[in-house]
């Protein structure tokens, strides 16, 4: 699953009125420091320095089991299932966990969600009774929110991966860089000179993007200690220049890698010269890429921000789950297992006596400083969303056929209204300043289309106009999905030509049925292939809702380089919010 949304409420620009968003952001930023320095919550030795580009080290209740390569496997004990809320990037750990089950009797049952959304799940109390443990890139959000941190009993860092820059190797020579000596400032200069474009996850949604933003602000400001507001102000001009080169955004590290892979293999989408992502994701991606698209992984010499993947036990876990947690962490910290983790997942070991895998450089990089307060993090993330990043152009293609009458239409109206900030809670990222929002109501044909520009000053009138349009939606008629998508692409082309701009552009398709009017799927595929590169760079994110035909929607996502989201099995509002990280 893509990483889910960080909340924000539309309040004073750059101030703590952005409540939920900044709670998730800052906690996500600082807990690596707390975990690395304090050795996590449970009694254990202080973390040992890792051999990685950042702070490594083992900690938590099972830390002492990591040191001996000759340690016997832990007793398996009784078989038990450990329910773990986890980041989807941990799917690559499944073969190791399969062997852990045989050795320990512990069956890990993953439920995947985004790192920051998972933190909200714990803070809200929804994890209590549903999960025994967490396993995300970091617990930074939880560690700065007392309500979240109070739910954690112990945590054990298992592996480390710094956020790095993967540069298309074919472009590296023209940049004149020595990969071992490149600094963030050099990277910023290359981007500002339009010599390099890149993709990065949305820092309001994904831990890798959040870590990158903090690291960039620290590096560009020259901060020597915890970031201050003065540091953020100092870094802002360089950050604005840097993010002008961001051509690809995403709500998750995995989708970002998939998007690069797709274009490298001749598929649709935006082609970029570099990715900002976890070192492990970049190295694993190289295993699937053709020679011309291989990435040279650069850990900037002036510092990185690292994830330490703490396996974390919740206070609410049962005694059998606590025992299972101890057996599992002891197994994962064995030297032989640490070597296997590093070899197979490209992450760095936390056990002091285990060297990184063959593909991982051994020279150490310092950890860059984090914000010194939540207010500083609020200001930094607010600036990214509303000032520093390229603005968005978002087209919502909304099925208002007869089958949408009643509760379905009401759900759609509620979901879109929340994106205007009305009734929004901690889980919402409303429409951004400088965003262009188009609503298209369709059934057997387009009923109407309205475009709204949300200004960077006094946005309330534009948001009210969007709400009015949403409330005017009415159901009736058949369903012409493909014909309407063609109209949406034509409209985007007109908007691009009129504005002469280069926005993040995407189309969101919400339907509860099957296309039974107008163009066919083959007609649409022919239409799409005839689009110019600027058109083919626009993905469609379909939402499966009601009785929608999944094969049709999956085909649309595959054709356009988008991703299918499931709104049929949960809250439609949460799906619209999740997609915000891709816009």
C-alpha angle 76-136-143 in degrees, rounded to nearest 5: 110
Q: Return mean pLDDT, the chain.
A: 85
The per-residue pLDDT for range 210-238, each reduced to its tens digit, is 899 999 999 999 998 988 999 999 999 99
- For residue 70, give the DSSP letter: T
In order of 228, 415, 466, 480, 579, the CA distances from 567 in angstroms are 40, 11, 22, 20, 11
* Mean pLDDT value of segment 34-43: 34
At 373 the pLDDT is: 72
Same domain, 178 and 292: yes
Do 541 and 439 share a structural domain?
Answer: yes
User: 423 falls in which pLDDT band (50, 70, 90)?
Assistant: low
Query: What is the rounded average pLDDT of the residues 396-409?
Result: 97
We report the CATH number of the domain holding residue 436 as: 3.40.50.410
pLDDT given at position 370: 81
- Please name the helix (run of DSSP H) or strand (run of DSSP E) that holds residue 398, with its range, or none: strand 392-399
Greater pLDDT, 67 or 142: 142
Task: Give the CB-side neighbour count of residue 576, counting CA atoms within 13 A.
Answer: 27
Summarised one tens digit per residue, pLDDT across range 13-30 is 333 333 333 333 333 333
Mean pLDDT of the region 190-204: 94
Rounded to a whole number of angstroms, the distance between the first and last alpha carbons of the chain is 16
Q: Are 582 and 255 in contact (CB under 8 A)?
A: yes
Residue 152 has pLDDT above 80, yes or no: yes
Instruction: Name residue, tokens 């979240």.
Output: 148
Residues 506 and 395 in one domain: yes
CB atoms within 10 A of CB 319: 7
- Based on the fold, state whether residues 115 and 200 are members of the same structural domain: no
Residue-wise pLDDT tens digits, 324-360:
999 999 999 999 999 999 999 999 999 999 999 998 9
Same domain, 166 and 141: no
CA distance 441 to 475: 9
330 within domain boundaries: yes
Q: Above pLDDT 90, what percent of the chain? A: 69
| C-alpha–C-alpha distance, residues 236 and 31, integer Å | 24
List, in sequence order, the alpha helices (H) in 222-332: 229-243, 253-264, 279-286, 319-332
pLDDT given for residue 428 in this prediction: 59
Residues 433 and 536 in one domain: yes
The pLDDT of residue 179 is: 93
Please give the structure tokens belonging to residue 432.
């951004």
In a domain, residue 2? The reply is no
Which residue's entry shows tokens 């992984």?
Answer: 297
Angstrom distance (rounded) from CA 453 to CA 471: 18
Q: Residue 77: its pLDDT value, please?
A: 59
Q: What is the pLDDT of residues 96-116, one digit of tens each?
A: 999 999 999 999 999 998 777
State the total domains in the chain.
Answer: 3
Same domain, 395 and 538: yes
Does residue 10 form part of some domain? Answer: no
Residue 480 domain-assigned?
yes
Q: Which residues are within 8 A (CB) of 261 and not within 5 positions of it... i.e. 6 or more apart?
A: 285, 288, 289
Within a domain: 5: no
Q: Is residue 354 part of a domain?
A: no
**Is the pLDDT higher at 539 or at 373?**
539
- Say what the pLDDT of residue 378 is: 77
Spatial separation of the C-alpha atoms in residues 409 and 475, rounded to whole Å: 7
The predicted pLDDT at position 27 comes to: 35
Residue 141 has what pLDDT?
Answer: 66
Judge whether residue 41 has pLDDT over 50.
no
Same domain, 108 and 151: yes
- Return d(Cα 246, Cα 260) in angstroms, integer: 13
Do residue 320 and residue 243 come from a single domain? Answer: no
Nearest-5° Cα angle at 482, 478 to 487: 100
pLDDT tens sequence across 445-500: 999 999 999 999 999 999 999 999 999 999 999 999 999 999 999 999 999 999 99
Q: Are residues 433 and 553 in the same domain?
A: yes
Q: Looking at the domain assignment, is residue 356 inside a domain? A: no
Q: Which domain holds residue 78?
A: 16-159+308-349
> What would the two tokens of residue 19 be?
């409540």
CA neighbor of 582 nearest in space, from 568, 563, 569, 567: 563
Q: What DSSP state is assigned to residue 371?
A: B
Where does the pLDDT of residue 32 fall: very low under 50, low under 70, confident under 90, or very high at 90 and above?
Answer: very low
- Do residues 345 and 375 share a domain? no
Alpha-carbon gap, residue 393 to 416, rounded angstroms: 16
Domain-embedded: residue 20: yes
Give tens-digit pLDDT for 535-570.
999 999 999 999 999 999 999 999 999 999 999 877
Q: What CATH number is associated with residue 208?
A: 3.40.190.10
Say if residue 557 is in the same domain as residue 425: yes
- Distances in Å between the Cα of 583 and the Cα atoms of 163, 181, 247, 366, 503 are 22, 33, 11, 32, 10
Give me the pLDDT at residue 285, please.
95
- pTM for this model (two decimals): 0.81
């Amino acid at each position: 699953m893509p990483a889910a949304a960080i909340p924000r409420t539309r309040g004073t620009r750059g101030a703590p009125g952005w409540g939920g968003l900044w709670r998730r952001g800052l906690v996500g930023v600082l807990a690596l420091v707390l975990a690395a320095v304090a050795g996590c919550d449970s009694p254990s030795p202080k973390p040992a320095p890792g051999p990685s580009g950042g702070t490594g080290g083992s900690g938590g209740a099972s830390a002492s089991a990591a040191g001996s390569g000759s340690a016997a496997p832990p007793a398996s004990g009784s078989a038990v299932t450990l329910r773990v809320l986890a980041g989807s990037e941990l799917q690559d750990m499944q073969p190791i966990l399969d062997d852990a089950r045989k050795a320990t009797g512990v069956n890990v049952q993953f439920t995947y969600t985004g790192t920051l959304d998972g933190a909200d799940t714990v803070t809200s109390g929804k994890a209590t009774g549903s999960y025994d443990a967490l396993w995300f890139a970091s617990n930074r959000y939880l560690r700065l929110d007392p309500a979240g941190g109070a739910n954690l009993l112990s945590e054990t860092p298992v592996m480390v991966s710094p956020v790095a820059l993967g540069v298309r190797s074919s472009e590296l020579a023209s940049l004149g860089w020595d990969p071992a000596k490149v600094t963030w400032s050099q990277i910023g200069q290359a981007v500002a000179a339009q010599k390099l474009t890149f993709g990065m996850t949305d820092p309001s949604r994904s831990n890798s993007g959040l870590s990158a933003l903090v690291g960039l602000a620290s590096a560009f400001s020259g901060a020597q200690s915890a970031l201050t507001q003065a540091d953020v102000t100092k870094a802002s001009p360089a950050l604005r220049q840097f993010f002008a080169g961001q051509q690809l955004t995403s709500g998750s590290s995995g989708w970002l890698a998939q998007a690069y892979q797709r274009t490298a293999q001749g598929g649709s989408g935006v082609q970029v010269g570099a990715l900002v992502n976890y070192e492990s994701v970049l190295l694993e991606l190289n295993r699937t890429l053709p020679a011309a698209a291989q990435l040279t992984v650069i850990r900037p010499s002036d510092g990185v921000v690292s994830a330490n993947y703490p396996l974390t036990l919740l206070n609410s876990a049962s005694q059998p789950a606590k025992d299972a947690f101890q057996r599992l962490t002891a197994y994962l910290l064995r030297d032989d297992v640490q070597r296997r983790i590093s070899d197979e997942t490209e992450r760095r070991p936390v056990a002091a006596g285990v060297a990184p895998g063959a593909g991982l450089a051994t020279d150490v990089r310092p950890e860059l400083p984090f914000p010194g307060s939540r207010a500083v993090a609020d200001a930094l993330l607010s600036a990214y969303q509303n000032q520093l990043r390229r603005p968005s152009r978002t087209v919502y293609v909304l099925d208002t056929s007869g089958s949408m009458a009643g509760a379905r239409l009401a759900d759609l109206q509620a979901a879109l209204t929340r994106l205007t900030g009305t009734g929004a809670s901690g889980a919402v990222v409303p429409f951004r300043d400088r965003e262009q929002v188009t609503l298209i109501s369709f059934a057997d044909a387009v009923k109407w289309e309205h475009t709204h520009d949300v200004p960077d000053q006094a946005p309330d009138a534009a948001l009210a106009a969007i709400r009015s349009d949403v409330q005017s939606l009415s159901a009736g008629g058949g369903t012409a999905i493909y014909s309407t998508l063609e109209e949406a692409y034509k409209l985007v082309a007109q908007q691009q030509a009129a504005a002469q701009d280069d926005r993040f552009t995407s189309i969101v398709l919400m339907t509860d049925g099957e296309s039974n009017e107008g163009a066919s799927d083959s007609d649409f595929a022919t239409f799409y292939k005839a689009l110019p590169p600027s058109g083919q760079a626009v993905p469609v994110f379909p939402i499966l809702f009601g009785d929608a035909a999944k094969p049709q929607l999956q085909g649309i996502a595959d054709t356009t380089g988008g991703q299918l989201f499931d709104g049929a099995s949960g809250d439609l509002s949460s799906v619209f919010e999740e997609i915000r990280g891709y816009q």
